[in-house]
Amino acid sequence: MTTSTINHQVRLASRPVGLPTADNWELTEEPVPAPADGQLVVKVTDISLDPAMRGWMNAGKSYIPPVEIGAVMRAGAVGTVVASANPAFAVGDSVYGSFGVQEYAVTSGRGVEKIDTSVVPAATYLAALGMPGMTAYFGLLDVGRLKDGDTVLVSGAAGAVGSIVGQIAKIKGCRVIGIAGGAEKCAWLTDELGFDVAIDYKGQDVKAALRDAAPDGVDVYFDNVGGEILDIALTRLARGARIVICGAVSQYNVTEPVKGPSNYLALLVARASMTGMVVFDYADRYPEAIAQMAGWLAEGRLISREDIVEGTVADFPDVLLRLFSGANTGKLVLALR
């Protein structure tokens, strides 16, 4: 890095209504400063794209403050330290942090973690060993209170979180049903990830298929999509079922008020529970989950699939839309090349 190095960034220009458009973004550039005392400069190599980003673009109260207009778009990312005035980090270290959608990030080091890319690829730290993996681990085991022999239903099952949820459930001795869009994704779930059943919401009657797949009901439903699929799942609850509300990607870009589940009284009938889950609540336990997940990866019991798109930060707005069209399988990553 030299004093003339330029940083290209994607900033939020306006709050979207419905799907984000080109008008919601601004591509900016500025020189990369030398790190002040205690700071480091990271050259970003891989940026995480997550459905939650759509919620971060909205104004209003949520579990995390919204991205402000004019701010660099929030994103988890991995990269390499290229300059350091922080004794905890050396030039050449591979690191993970909330670096944003930009080529270089200047940071105090708070919340930045060193990673070992000789063990797994850098992008895996955005997938199984990153927020999706942590979400799946704590959402299923802590919030879902998984028990051996449970029947587990996962929506968005071919996505970054859902694909790991199903695999953890199988490792723990459960029967797993995944809901995904398209025959190719469903085949991946059963043939490679070991799901017992995959239901194609694009080509099957989900309610009928779920009735056949879970005649005795579902013990844990891990919901990533909300909407109609959540309503259907509520009709198939076993007594004492636990529903984990992780996300609602089907609702993120609607322009009318979000609809709640009409079948919510099924919770009463089944003596079931529905609980929201935010992964940041488990930050102090991430090392526990990372160690367990890394072990499963090394043993070949867990597969981390990264859907990597190579490009520049200018490609971010278009790549982000892949999340909402269902174009990705596994963890969507923008690799800066």
Q: How many secondary structure helices (H) and strands (E) does the chain include?
A: 10, 15
pLDDT class of 337 with cuts at 50, 70, 90: confident
Of 172, 177, 180, which Cα lies nearest the Cα of 217?
A: 177
**Mean pLDDT (whole number) for 5-29:** 97
Question: Is the predicted pLDDT of residue 279 greater than 90, yes or no?
Answer: yes
Question: Is the predicted pLDDT of residue 265 greater than 80, yes or no?
Answer: yes
Could you tell me the residue range of the domain that residue 238 belongs to?
131-280
Q: Does residue 136 form part of some domain?
A: yes
State the residue for tokens 């940071």: 107
Q: Does residue 208 form part of some domain?
A: yes
**Mean pLDDT (whole number) for 308-321:** 98
In the chain, the percentage of residues whose pLDDT exceeds 70 is: 99
123 in the same domain as 172: no
- pLDDT confidence of residue 316: 98
Q: Does residue 86 form part of some domain?
A: yes
270 in the same domain as 145: yes
- pLDDT confidence of residue 59: 92
Q: Is the pTM of this model over 0.85?
A: yes
214 in the same domain as 116: no
Question: Is the predicted pLDDT of residue 61 greater than 90, yes or no?
Answer: no
Of 169, 264, 265, which Cα lies nearest the Cα of 226?
A: 264
Q: Chain-wide mean pLDDT for the chain?
A: 96
- pLDDT confidence of residue 1: 59
- pLDDT confidence of residue 258: 80
270 in the same domain as 152: yes
Count CB atoms within 10 A of the CB of residue 282.
18
Q: What is the DSSP letter of 81?
A: E
Q: Does residue 211 form part of some domain?
A: yes
- Going by their DSSP bridges, the two strands 25-31 and 175-180 should be labelled as unpaired
100 in the same domain as 20: yes
pLDDT class of 256 with cuts at 50, 70, 90: confident
In contact, 311 and 103? CB cutoff 8 Å: no
330 in the same domain as 195: no
56 in the same domain as 169: no
Phi, psi torsion values for 113, nearest 5 degrees: -120, 140
118 in the same domain as 196: no
- Kindly report, residue by residue over 136-179, the tens digit of the pLDDT: 999 999 999 999 999 999 999 999 999 999 999 999 999 999 99
220 in the same domain as 311: no
- Indicate if the alpha-carbon torsion angle 142, 219, 63, 124 is positive or negative: positive
